[in-house]
Amino acid sequence: MAAGKVSARNERRSFSAPNPEQFEWWADLSAARDLTRHDKAQYTFLLSWFESWRAKSHLAPERASAVGFWRSQVQSKERTSWQEKQWAAIISWYLRWLELCQQQGKCCESLAGRVRSAVDHAGARRGLAYRTRLTYGGWAARYALWAGSRSRVLDTEVAREWLSHLVVDRAVAFSTQKQALNALVFLYKDVCGMEEVDLQVRFRKRAKRIPVVLNRTELAQLFAEIKDPMHRLMAELQYGSGLRLRELLQLRVKDIDLEASTVTVRCGKGDKDRVTVLPRSLQARLETLIEENRKVYLADRLERQAGVYLPPALARKMPRAGERWPWFWIFPQGKTSRDPESGVVRRHHVVAGVYCHALRAASQRTCISKRVTSHCLRHSFATHLLEAGTDIRTLQSLLGHADVTTTMIYTHVVERLSRAGVISPLDG
Protein backbone atom coordinates (compact mmCIF):
# COMPACT_ATOMS: atom_id res chain seq x y z
CA MET A 1 0.00 0.00 0.00
CA ALA A 2 2.84 2.38 0.87
CA ALA A 3 4.55 1.72 -2.47
CA GLY A 4 1.29 2.48 -4.27
CA LYS A 5 0.99 5.84 -2.48
CA VAL A 6 4.58 6.77 -3.31
CA SER A 7 4.06 5.86 -6.97
CA ALA A 8 0.89 7.94 -7.12
CA ARG A 9 2.70 10.92 -5.60
CA ASN A 10 5.53 10.58 -8.13
CA GLU A 11 3.06 10.53 -11.00
CA ARG A 12 1.29 13.54 -9.57
CA ARG A 13 4.57 15.47 -9.31
CA SER A 14 5.54 14.64 -12.91
CA PHE A 15 2.35 16.25 -14.15
CA SER A 16 1.39 18.94 -11.63
CA ALA A 17 4.48 20.05 -9.69
CA PRO A 18 6.38 23.21 -10.68
CA ASN A 19 8.59 22.38 -13.67
CA PRO A 20 10.87 24.39 -15.96
CA GLU A 21 9.04 26.54 -18.48
CA GLN A 22 7.28 24.40 -21.08
CA PHE A 23 7.80 25.02 -24.80
CA GLU A 24 4.97 23.98 -27.14
CA TRP A 25 5.44 24.01 -30.88
CA TRP A 26 1.98 25.39 -31.65
CA ALA A 27 2.60 28.47 -29.46
CA ASP A 28 5.89 29.25 -31.22
CA LEU A 29 4.30 28.50 -34.58
CA SER A 30 1.43 30.93 -33.98
CA ALA A 31 3.96 33.64 -33.02
CA ALA A 32 6.18 33.08 -36.09
CA ARG A 33 6.40 36.17 -38.29
CA ASP A 34 8.04 34.56 -41.33
CA LEU A 35 5.04 32.31 -42.08
CA THR A 36 1.73 33.22 -43.68
CA ARG A 37 -1.63 32.15 -42.27
CA HIS A 38 -1.86 29.48 -44.97
CA ASP A 39 1.63 28.19 -44.07
CA LYS A 40 0.69 27.99 -40.39
CA ALA A 41 -2.41 25.96 -41.28
CA GLN A 42 -0.26 23.49 -43.24
CA TYR A 43 2.27 23.25 -40.38
CA THR A 44 -0.50 22.69 -37.85
CA PHE A 45 -2.06 19.93 -39.97
CA LEU A 46 1.12 17.90 -40.39
CA LEU A 47 2.47 18.41 -36.87
CA SER A 48 -0.90 17.53 -35.31
CA TRP A 49 -0.87 14.35 -37.40
CA PHE A 50 2.65 13.63 -36.15
CA GLU A 51 1.69 14.30 -32.50
CA SER A 52 -1.32 11.98 -32.79
CA TRP A 53 0.82 9.22 -34.33
CA ARG A 54 3.53 9.73 -31.72
CA ALA A 55 1.03 9.49 -28.86
CA LYS A 56 -0.47 6.26 -30.20
CA SER A 57 3.01 4.80 -30.66
CA HIS A 58 4.10 5.88 -27.13
CA LEU A 59 7.16 7.72 -28.49
CA ALA A 60 8.96 10.73 -27.02
CA PRO A 61 9.26 14.03 -28.92
CA GLU A 62 12.68 13.51 -30.53
CA ARG A 63 14.39 13.18 -33.90
CA ALA A 64 13.97 9.37 -34.00
CA SER A 65 10.19 9.77 -33.63
CA ALA A 66 10.06 12.26 -36.50
CA VAL A 67 12.13 9.92 -38.70
CA GLY A 68 9.82 7.00 -37.85
CA PHE A 69 6.76 9.09 -38.66
CA TRP A 70 8.24 10.16 -42.00
CA ARG A 71 9.05 6.58 -43.03
CA SER A 72 5.86 4.89 -41.84
CA GLN A 73 3.26 7.57 -42.56
CA VAL A 74 4.56 9.93 -45.24
CA GLN A 75 6.66 7.61 -47.41
CA SER A 76 4.20 4.73 -47.11
CA LYS A 77 2.07 6.29 -49.86
CA GLU A 78 2.92 7.97 -53.13
CA ARG A 79 3.08 11.74 -52.66
CA THR A 80 3.46 14.57 -55.15
CA SER A 81 6.88 16.23 -55.31
CA TRP A 82 5.61 19.60 -54.03
CA GLN A 83 3.78 17.94 -51.15
CA GLU A 84 6.80 15.92 -50.07
CA LYS A 85 9.01 19.02 -50.32
CA GLN A 86 6.58 21.08 -48.23
CA TRP A 87 6.20 18.39 -45.57
CA ALA A 88 9.98 17.90 -45.40
CA ALA A 89 10.33 21.63 -44.65
CA ILE A 90 7.74 21.33 -41.87
CA ILE A 91 9.53 18.38 -40.25
CA SER A 92 12.83 20.27 -40.54
CA TRP A 93 11.25 23.24 -38.75
CA TYR A 94 10.06 20.91 -35.97
CA LEU A 95 13.52 19.33 -35.61
CA ARG A 96 15.14 22.77 -35.37
CA TRP A 97 12.56 23.71 -32.74
CA LEU A 98 13.40 20.54 -30.77
CA GLU A 99 17.10 21.35 -30.96
CA LEU A 100 16.53 24.85 -29.57
CA CYS A 101 14.44 23.43 -26.72
CA GLN A 102 17.22 20.98 -25.81
CA GLN A 103 19.91 23.67 -25.98
CA GLN A 104 18.01 25.83 -23.51
CA GLY A 105 17.17 22.89 -21.24
CA LYS A 106 13.43 23.26 -21.73
CA CYS A 107 10.82 20.49 -21.84
CA CYS A 108 9.23 20.28 -25.27
CA GLU A 109 6.36 17.93 -24.35
CA SER A 110 3.00 19.68 -24.54
CA LEU A 111 0.58 19.82 -21.62
CA ALA A 112 -1.83 17.53 -23.47
CA GLY A 113 1.00 15.05 -24.11
CA ARG A 114 2.08 15.04 -20.47
CA VAL A 115 -1.50 14.48 -19.31
CA ARG A 116 -1.97 11.66 -21.83
CA SER A 117 1.27 9.98 -20.70
CA ALA A 118 0.37 10.28 -17.02
CA VAL A 119 -3.05 8.69 -17.61
CA ASP A 120 -1.52 5.91 -19.71
CA HIS A 121 1.10 5.06 -17.07
CA ALA A 122 -1.46 5.07 -14.26
CA GLY A 123 -3.82 2.91 -16.31
CA ALA A 124 -1.07 0.39 -17.13
CA ARG A 125 -0.13 0.08 -13.45
CA ARG A 126 -3.76 -0.50 -12.49
CA GLY A 127 -4.29 -3.12 -15.19
CA LEU A 128 -6.65 -1.22 -17.49
CA ALA A 129 -7.10 -2.64 -20.98
CA TYR A 130 -5.03 -1.03 -23.74
CA ARG A 131 -8.05 0.40 -25.55
CA THR A 132 -9.41 1.82 -22.28
CA ARG A 133 -6.08 3.55 -21.64
CA LEU A 134 -6.11 5.01 -25.15
CA THR A 135 -9.68 6.27 -24.66
CA TYR A 136 -9.04 7.80 -21.24
CA GLY A 137 -5.75 9.32 -22.39
CA GLY A 138 -7.41 10.83 -25.46
CA TRP A 139 -10.21 12.46 -23.46
CA ALA A 140 -7.80 13.72 -20.81
CA ALA A 141 -5.55 15.23 -23.52
CA ARG A 142 -8.52 16.94 -25.20
CA TYR A 143 -9.55 18.37 -21.85
CA ALA A 144 -6.01 19.63 -21.18
CA LEU A 145 -5.91 21.26 -24.61
CA TRP A 146 -9.24 22.98 -23.88
CA ALA A 147 -8.18 24.06 -20.38
CA GLY A 148 -4.92 25.53 -21.67
CA SER A 149 -2.84 25.53 -18.47
CA ARG A 150 -1.76 23.15 -15.72
CA SER A 151 -3.59 25.06 -12.99
CA ARG A 152 -6.84 24.99 -14.95
CA VAL A 153 -6.49 21.26 -15.64
CA LEU A 154 -6.31 20.61 -11.89
CA ASP A 155 -9.41 22.74 -11.21
CA THR A 156 -12.53 20.56 -10.99
CA GLU A 157 -14.69 23.62 -11.67
CA VAL A 158 -13.03 23.92 -15.09
CA ALA A 159 -13.69 20.22 -15.63
CA ARG A 160 -17.40 20.79 -14.96
CA GLU A 161 -17.39 23.66 -17.47
CA TRP A 162 -15.80 21.40 -20.10
CA LEU A 163 -18.30 18.59 -19.53
CA SER A 164 -21.14 21.14 -19.82
CA HIS A 165 -19.55 22.38 -23.05
CA LEU A 166 -19.63 18.83 -24.44
CA VAL A 167 -23.34 18.51 -23.64
CA VAL A 168 -24.60 22.00 -24.48
CA ASP A 169 -22.40 23.16 -27.34
CA ARG A 170 -21.38 19.90 -28.98
CA ALA A 171 -24.51 17.85 -28.10
CA VAL A 172 -22.52 14.64 -27.75
CA ALA A 173 -24.21 11.28 -27.27
CA PHE A 174 -24.85 9.65 -23.89
CA SER A 175 -21.99 7.15 -24.31
CA THR A 176 -19.60 9.98 -25.21
CA GLN A 177 -20.59 11.94 -22.10
CA LYS A 178 -19.97 8.89 -19.96
CA GLN A 179 -16.55 8.23 -21.52
CA ALA A 180 -15.42 11.81 -20.94
CA LEU A 181 -16.65 11.79 -17.33
CA ASN A 182 -14.97 8.47 -16.53
CA ALA A 183 -11.71 9.72 -18.04
CA LEU A 184 -11.71 12.86 -15.89
CA VAL A 185 -12.60 10.95 -12.73
CA PHE A 186 -9.68 8.59 -13.45
CA LEU A 187 -7.40 11.58 -14.05
CA TYR A 188 -8.28 13.23 -10.74
CA LYS A 189 -8.37 10.09 -8.61
CA ASP A 190 -5.60 7.89 -10.00
CA VAL A 191 -3.21 10.49 -11.44
CA CYS A 192 -3.77 13.56 -9.27
CA GLY A 193 -4.47 11.55 -6.09
CA MET A 194 -7.78 13.19 -5.11
CA GLU A 195 -9.80 11.01 -2.75
CA GLU A 196 -13.27 12.38 -3.53
CA VAL A 197 -14.24 13.67 -6.96
CA ASP A 198 -17.75 15.01 -7.58
CA LEU A 199 -18.08 16.74 -10.94
CA GLN A 200 -21.85 17.20 -10.45
CA VAL A 201 -22.74 15.92 -13.90
CA ARG A 202 -26.28 15.08 -14.97
CA PHE A 203 -26.42 12.80 -17.95
CA ARG A 204 -28.77 13.41 -20.82
CA LYS A 205 -31.51 10.81 -20.78
CA ARG A 206 -30.67 7.91 -23.04
CA ALA A 207 -33.40 7.31 -25.60
CA LYS A 208 -34.37 3.78 -26.57
CA ARG A 209 -33.42 2.83 -30.11
CA ILE A 210 -34.83 0.04 -32.23
CA PRO A 211 -31.95 -2.05 -33.60
CA VAL A 212 -31.38 -2.28 -37.35
CA VAL A 213 -32.27 -5.77 -38.59
CA LEU A 214 -31.63 -7.24 -42.03
CA ASN A 215 -34.10 -9.73 -43.46
CA ARG A 216 -32.88 -12.98 -44.99
CA THR A 217 -32.97 -11.65 -48.55
CA GLU A 218 -30.86 -8.66 -47.58
CA LEU A 219 -28.40 -10.90 -45.73
CA ALA A 220 -28.03 -13.13 -48.78
CA GLN A 221 -27.36 -10.06 -50.96
CA LEU A 222 -24.81 -8.75 -48.47
CA PHE A 223 -22.91 -12.04 -48.18
CA ALA A 224 -22.84 -12.47 -51.97
CA GLU A 225 -21.18 -9.06 -52.41
CA ILE A 226 -18.32 -9.69 -49.94
CA LYS A 227 -15.43 -10.50 -52.24
CA ASP A 228 -12.82 -11.80 -49.80
CA PRO A 229 -13.60 -15.42 -48.74
CA MET A 230 -12.34 -14.90 -45.18
CA HIS A 231 -14.37 -11.74 -44.67
CA ARG A 232 -17.47 -13.49 -46.02
CA LEU A 233 -16.93 -16.40 -43.64
CA MET A 234 -16.49 -13.93 -40.77
CA ALA A 235 -19.77 -12.17 -41.63
CA GLU A 236 -21.69 -15.43 -41.91
CA LEU A 237 -20.25 -16.69 -38.62
CA GLN A 238 -21.08 -13.43 -36.85
CA TYR A 239 -24.68 -13.68 -38.03
CA GLY A 240 -24.93 -17.45 -37.52
CA SER A 241 -23.56 -17.35 -33.95
CA GLY A 242 -24.68 -13.88 -32.79
CA LEU A 243 -21.17 -12.68 -31.94
CA ARG A 244 -20.04 -9.19 -31.06
CA LEU A 245 -17.30 -7.77 -33.27
CA ARG A 246 -14.51 -8.20 -30.72
CA GLU A 247 -15.68 -11.72 -29.89
CA LEU A 248 -15.52 -12.65 -33.59
CA LEU A 249 -12.04 -11.23 -34.13
CA GLN A 250 -10.53 -12.85 -31.02
CA LEU A 251 -11.71 -16.40 -31.69
CA ARG A 252 -8.97 -19.00 -31.28
CA VAL A 253 -8.65 -22.57 -32.54
CA LYS A 254 -9.60 -24.05 -29.17
CA ASP A 255 -12.88 -22.04 -29.13
CA ILE A 256 -14.38 -23.83 -32.15
CA ASP A 257 -15.84 -27.32 -31.56
CA LEU A 258 -16.81 -28.67 -34.97
CA GLU A 259 -18.09 -31.96 -33.56
CA ALA A 260 -20.44 -30.38 -31.02
CA SER A 261 -21.33 -27.44 -33.32
CA THR A 262 -20.53 -24.88 -30.64
CA VAL A 263 -18.52 -21.67 -30.33
CA THR A 264 -17.09 -20.77 -26.93
CA VAL A 265 -16.75 -17.04 -26.33
CA ARG A 266 -13.96 -16.26 -23.87
CA CYS A 267 -13.81 -13.02 -21.87
CA GLY A 268 -16.84 -11.51 -23.56
CA LYS A 269 -18.57 -8.34 -22.42
CA GLY A 270 -18.33 -8.11 -18.65
CA ASP A 271 -15.40 -10.58 -18.77
CA LYS A 272 -17.87 -13.49 -19.03
CA ASP A 273 -17.59 -16.75 -20.96
CA ARG A 274 -20.50 -18.32 -22.80
CA VAL A 275 -21.30 -20.97 -25.41
CA THR A 276 -23.29 -20.25 -28.54
CA VAL A 277 -24.31 -22.20 -31.62
CA LEU A 278 -22.02 -22.93 -34.58
CA PRO A 279 -23.88 -23.06 -37.93
CA ARG A 280 -23.50 -26.51 -39.49
CA SER A 281 -23.42 -24.96 -42.95
CA LEU A 282 -20.09 -23.30 -42.09
CA GLN A 283 -18.34 -26.32 -40.60
CA ALA A 284 -16.68 -27.53 -43.80
CA ARG A 285 -15.31 -24.08 -44.66
CA LEU A 286 -14.14 -23.53 -41.08
CA GLU A 287 -12.36 -26.88 -41.14
CA THR A 288 -10.60 -25.90 -44.38
CA LEU A 289 -9.64 -22.52 -42.91
CA ILE A 290 -8.22 -24.14 -39.77
CA GLU A 291 -6.08 -26.45 -41.92
CA GLU A 292 -4.72 -23.43 -43.82
CA ASN A 293 -4.08 -21.62 -40.55
CA ARG A 294 -2.10 -24.63 -39.36
CA LYS A 295 0.37 -24.08 -42.20
CA VAL A 296 0.71 -20.40 -41.26
CA TYR A 297 1.23 -21.38 -37.63
CA LEU A 298 3.98 -23.89 -38.51
CA ALA A 299 5.69 -21.34 -40.75
CA ASP A 300 5.71 -18.85 -37.86
CA ARG A 301 7.26 -21.45 -35.59
CA LEU A 302 9.98 -22.24 -38.14
CA GLU A 303 10.77 -18.52 -38.41
CA ARG A 304 10.80 -18.29 -34.59
CA GLN A 305 8.14 -15.60 -34.56
CA ALA A 306 6.76 -14.50 -31.21
CA GLY A 307 3.56 -16.25 -30.15
CA VAL A 308 0.13 -14.67 -30.55
CA TYR A 309 -1.13 -12.15 -28.00
CA LEU A 310 -2.37 -13.43 -24.64
CA PRO A 311 -4.02 -11.49 -21.80
CA PRO A 312 -1.27 -10.21 -19.46
CA ALA A 313 -2.23 -12.37 -16.47
CA LEU A 314 -2.33 -15.52 -18.62
CA ALA A 315 0.95 -14.61 -20.33
CA ARG A 316 2.65 -14.40 -16.92
CA LYS A 317 1.19 -17.73 -15.83
CA MET A 318 1.78 -19.55 -19.15
CA PRO A 319 4.54 -17.62 -20.95
CA ARG A 320 4.85 -20.11 -23.85
CA ALA A 321 1.13 -20.64 -24.44
CA GLY A 322 1.06 -18.07 -27.24
CA GLU A 323 3.35 -20.37 -29.28
CA ARG A 324 0.95 -23.32 -29.03
CA TRP A 325 -1.55 -24.28 -31.71
CA PRO A 326 -4.77 -24.16 -29.60
CA TRP A 327 -4.21 -20.43 -28.94
CA PHE A 328 -3.72 -19.50 -32.60
CA TRP A 329 -6.26 -17.16 -34.21
CA ILE A 330 -9.16 -18.43 -36.31
CA PHE A 331 -8.92 -15.26 -38.43
CA PRO A 332 -5.21 -14.29 -38.48
CA GLN A 333 -3.67 -11.42 -40.42
CA GLY A 334 -1.80 -12.22 -43.59
CA LYS A 335 1.44 -10.76 -42.22
CA THR A 336 3.06 -10.03 -38.88
CA SER A 337 2.95 -6.56 -37.33
CA ARG A 338 4.26 -4.74 -34.29
CA ASP A 339 2.17 -4.89 -31.11
CA PRO A 340 1.41 -1.23 -30.26
CA GLU A 341 1.53 -1.94 -26.52
CA SER A 342 4.56 -4.19 -26.09
CA GLY A 343 6.42 -3.47 -29.34
CA VAL A 344 6.73 -7.22 -30.06
CA VAL A 345 6.44 -8.25 -33.72
CA ARG A 346 3.91 -11.07 -33.93
CA ARG A 347 0.86 -12.24 -35.89
CA HIS A 348 -2.36 -10.54 -34.85
CA HIS A 349 -5.97 -11.27 -35.76
CA VAL A 350 -7.75 -9.46 -38.59
CA VAL A 351 -8.07 -5.74 -37.88
CA ALA A 352 -11.60 -4.61 -37.02
CA GLY A 353 -11.46 -1.67 -39.44
CA VAL A 354 -10.55 -3.90 -42.39
CA TYR A 355 -13.47 -6.26 -41.76
CA CYS A 356 -15.97 -3.44 -41.16
CA HIS A 357 -14.80 -1.68 -44.33
CA ALA A 358 -15.46 -4.89 -46.29
CA LEU A 359 -19.02 -4.98 -44.89
CA ARG A 360 -19.68 -1.33 -45.77
CA ALA A 361 -18.29 -1.75 -49.28
CA ALA A 362 -20.46 -4.83 -49.84
CA SER A 363 -23.60 -3.07 -48.57
CA GLN A 364 -22.98 -0.15 -50.95
CA ARG A 365 -22.95 -2.55 -53.90
CA THR A 366 -26.39 -3.87 -52.96
CA CYS A 367 -29.84 -2.29 -52.92
CA ILE A 368 -30.04 -2.41 -49.11
CA SER A 369 -31.39 0.92 -47.86
CA LYS A 370 -30.45 0.32 -44.20
CA ARG A 371 -27.28 1.41 -42.40
CA VAL A 372 -25.28 -1.82 -42.32
CA THR A 373 -22.75 -2.37 -39.52
CA SER A 374 -21.20 -5.50 -38.08
CA HIS A 375 -23.60 -5.29 -35.11
CA CYS A 376 -26.58 -5.53 -37.51
CA LEU A 377 -25.62 -9.18 -38.00
CA ARG A 378 -25.93 -9.84 -34.25
CA HIS A 379 -29.29 -8.01 -34.15
CA SER A 380 -30.49 -10.09 -37.10
CA PHE A 381 -29.39 -13.32 -35.37
CA ALA A 382 -31.48 -12.49 -32.29
CA THR A 383 -34.54 -11.33 -34.23
CA HIS A 384 -34.63 -14.34 -36.56
CA LEU A 385 -34.29 -16.76 -33.65
CA LEU A 386 -37.24 -15.11 -31.90
CA GLU A 387 -39.28 -15.32 -35.08
CA ALA A 388 -38.45 -19.04 -35.22
CA GLY A 389 -39.87 -19.56 -31.70
CA THR A 390 -36.74 -19.51 -29.51
CA ASP A 391 -37.65 -18.58 -25.93
CA ILE A 392 -36.30 -15.36 -24.47
CA ARG A 393 -34.18 -17.02 -21.75
CA THR A 394 -32.35 -19.22 -24.27
CA LEU A 395 -31.75 -16.20 -26.46
CA GLN A 396 -30.41 -14.25 -23.48
CA SER A 397 -27.90 -17.03 -22.82
CA LEU A 398 -26.79 -17.21 -26.47
CA LEU A 399 -26.29 -13.44 -26.66
CA GLY A 400 -24.55 -13.18 -23.29
CA HIS A 401 -26.85 -10.49 -21.87
CA ALA A 402 -26.58 -9.94 -18.13
CA ASP A 403 -30.18 -8.69 -17.90
CA VAL A 404 -33.14 -10.13 -19.76
CA THR A 405 -34.55 -6.62 -20.30
CA THR A 406 -31.71 -6.04 -22.77
CA THR A 407 -32.85 -9.08 -24.73
CA MET A 408 -36.48 -7.93 -24.61
CA ILE A 409 -35.74 -5.18 -27.16
CA TYR A 410 -35.85 -7.83 -29.87
CA THR A 411 -39.43 -8.73 -28.97
CA HIS A 412 -40.44 -5.23 -30.10
CA VAL A 413 -38.64 -5.79 -33.39
CA VAL A 414 -40.42 -9.10 -33.94
CA GLU A 415 -43.79 -7.52 -33.14
CA ARG A 416 -43.02 -4.75 -35.62
CA LEU A 417 -42.11 -7.25 -38.33
CA SER A 418 -44.70 -9.92 -37.54
CA ARG A 419 -47.62 -10.47 -39.86
CA ALA A 420 -49.80 -11.05 -36.79
CA GLY A 421 -49.17 -7.49 -35.59
CA VAL A 422 -51.27 -4.36 -36.11
CA ILE A 423 -52.66 -3.93 -39.64
CA SER A 424 -52.95 -0.49 -41.20
CA PRO A 425 -56.57 0.68 -41.51
CA LEU A 426 -55.85 1.50 -45.15
CA ASP A 427 -54.97 -2.12 -45.77
CA GLY A 428 -58.09 -3.20 -43.86
Rounded mean pLDDT of the chain?
84
Query: Does the active-site annotation cover 33?
Result: no
Q: Is the pLDDT of residue 57 over 90?
A: no
How far apart CA 170 and CA 117 sit, in angstroms, is: 26
Average pLDDT score over residue span 5-32: 52
- Is the predicted pLDDT of residue 16 greater than 50, yes or no? no
Q: Which of 116, 231, 378, 379 is catalytic?
A: 378
Contact assessment for residue 127 and residue 312, using Cβ atoms and an 8 Å cutoff: yes
Q: Torsion-angle region of residue 347: left (phi > 0), alpha (psi -120 to 50) or beta? A: beta
> How far are the Cα atoms of 43, 45, 89 from residue 93, in angstroms, in the given order?
9, 14, 6
Q: Give per-residue pLDDT as tens, 315-353.
A: 889 989 999 999 999 999 999 988 877 778 999 999 999
User: Pick the catalytic residue: 142, 152, 266, 375?
Assistant: 375
Other CB atoms within 10 A of residue 200 CB: 10
The Cα 198–Cα 163 span in angstroms is 12
pTM: 0.73
Contacts 24+ apart (CB under 8 A), 83-87: 86/42, 87/46
Verify whether residue 125 is a known catalytic residue: no
Phi-psi region of 385 (alpha: psi -120 to 50; beta: other; left: phi over 0): alpha
pLDDT computed for residue 415 by the predictor: 62
The predicted model gives 53-57 an average pLDDT of 77
Give me the pLDDT at residue 9, please.
Answer: 42
3-class DSSP state of 17? coil
Whether 19 has a pLDDT exceeding 50, the answer reads no
In three-state secondary structure terms, 267 is coil
pLDDT at residue 159 greater than cutoff 60 = yes
Q: Which of 133, 231, 244, 346 is catalytic?
A: 244
Ranking 8-17, 38-47, 183-192, 263-272 by mean pLDDT, the lowest is: 8-17
131 assigned to active site: no
Q: Identify whether 133 is a catalytic site residue.
A: no
Taken as a whole, the chain contains a residue count of 428
320 among known catalytic residues: no
Q: Which helix (H) or strand (E) holds 216?
A: helix 216-225
* pLDDT tens digits for range 189-199: 988 888 888 78
pLDDT, tens digit, 9 for 90 and up, residues 100-129:
887 777 766 777 888 888 898 898 888 788
Contact between residue 221 and residue 366 where contact means Cβ atoms under 8 Å apart: yes
Q: Is 269 a catalytic residue?
A: yes
Domains of the chain (ranges, CATH numbers):
23-66+79-109 (no CATH), 112-191 (1.10.150.130), 216-399 (1.10.443.10)
